[in-house]
């Protein structure tokens, strides 16, 4: 299960949950805090623990939990894999979960709609960077790309085809970053170790970018922008993007 799926289920019908993934978002969610943890971070879920909980259904991430399908299938526990890369897929996941639970998805769907779609006052060219070695930026096939599009932001790598392991992200050379020379740069900080801002500040090309010279480099958290995380994280990232766009 992902933190996003757990959060959606908790908001639709928390009584049906028997186990959740570990992590900061789970710890911060009062509805999930007391439930057993079946995984932590990027470590594969504890298969024996899941079986012991005797779930009727397990929700997993398509990019990470494929091995669970066969392994839990031997115990006759069905697994549904999800992949949320845009708002339509978020809404579809919410409807699917609500159907499985026999609950009404409309309150949550209205909450998504209340986040709104906005057009920025300034049509600035925006570059989002998630790492420095290599330099990675999201295109339109990622959740981050969908977030930028929803708020009318001109993502300079939106239509660049990804060649990395993740098709939603593209690898850029320093020369390509200089060529794009965006008006705004959003740096995604994942926490732990040296900040991305400090890593890039040491690169020779960095100081030649217009956004750096004009002080238009901002930071955002990983959860909500790159990984949806949960509904609260999405709302927080949306508010931050709206502020940047204005």
Same fold flag, 3-115 and 125-245: yes
**CATH architecture for segment(s) 3-115:** 3-Layer(aba) Sandwich (3.40)
Position 167 scores a pLDDT of 80
Cα 210 from Cα 35, distance rounded (Å)? 49
* Domain extent listing, the chain: 3-115, 125-245
Residue 146 belongs to what H/E stretch? Answer: helix 143-150
Position 41 scores a pLDDT of 73
Per-residue pLDDT 10s for the chain (246 aa) are 789 999 999 999 999 999 998 988 988 999 998 999 988 877 778 889 999 999 999 998 887 667 777 788 888 988 888 999 999 999 999 999 999 999 999 999 999 998 867 676 668 999 999 999 999 999 999 999 999 999 889 999 999 987 656 789 999 999 999 999 999 999 999 877 789 999 999 999 999 999 999 999 999 999 999 999 999 999 999 999 998 887
Are 169 and 119 spatial neighbours (Cβ–Cβ below 8 Å)? no
**CATH architecture for segment(s) 125-245:** 3-Layer(aba) Sandwich (3.40)
Q: What pTM does this model have?
A: 0.91
Neighbours of 218 (CB within 10 A): 16
Position 68 scores a pLDDT of 77
Position 121 scores a pLDDT of 67
Position 165 scores a pLDDT of 60
Position 143 scores a pLDDT of 96
Position 35 scores a pLDDT of 94
Instruction: Look up residue 55 and give its two tokens.
Output: 């779930």
């Amino acid at each position: 299960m992902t933190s996003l799926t757990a959060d959606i289920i908790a908001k639709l019908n928390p009584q049906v949950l028997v186990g959740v993934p570990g992590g900061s978002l789970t710890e911060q969610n009062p509805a999930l805090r007391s439930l057993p943890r079946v995984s932590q971070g990027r470590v594969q879920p504890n298969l024996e623990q899941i079986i012991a909980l005797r779930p009727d259904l397990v929700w997993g991430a398509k990019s990470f939990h494929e091995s669970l399908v066969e392994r839990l299938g031997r115990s006759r526990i069905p697994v549904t894999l999800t992949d949320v890369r845009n708002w339509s897929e978020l809404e579809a996941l919410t409807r699917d979960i609500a159907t499985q639970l026999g609950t009404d998805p409309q309150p949550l769907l209205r909450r998504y709609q209340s986040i709104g779609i906005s057009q920025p006052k300034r049509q600035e060219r925006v570059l989002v960077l998630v790492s420095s070695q290599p330099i990675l930026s999201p295109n339109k096939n990622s959740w981050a790309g969908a977030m930028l599009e929803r708020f009318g932001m001109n993502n300079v790598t939106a239509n660049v085809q990804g060649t990395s392991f993740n098709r939603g992200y593209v690898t850029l050379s320093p020369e390509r970053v200089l060529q794009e020379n965006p008006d705004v740069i959003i740096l995604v900080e994942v926490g732990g170790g040296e900040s991305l801002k400090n890593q890039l500040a040491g690169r020779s090309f960095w100081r030649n970018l217009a956004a750096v010279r004009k002080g238009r480099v901002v930071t955002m958290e990983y959860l909500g922008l790159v990984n949806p995380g949960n509904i609260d994280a999405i709302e927080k990232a949306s508010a931050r993007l709206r502020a940047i766009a204005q």
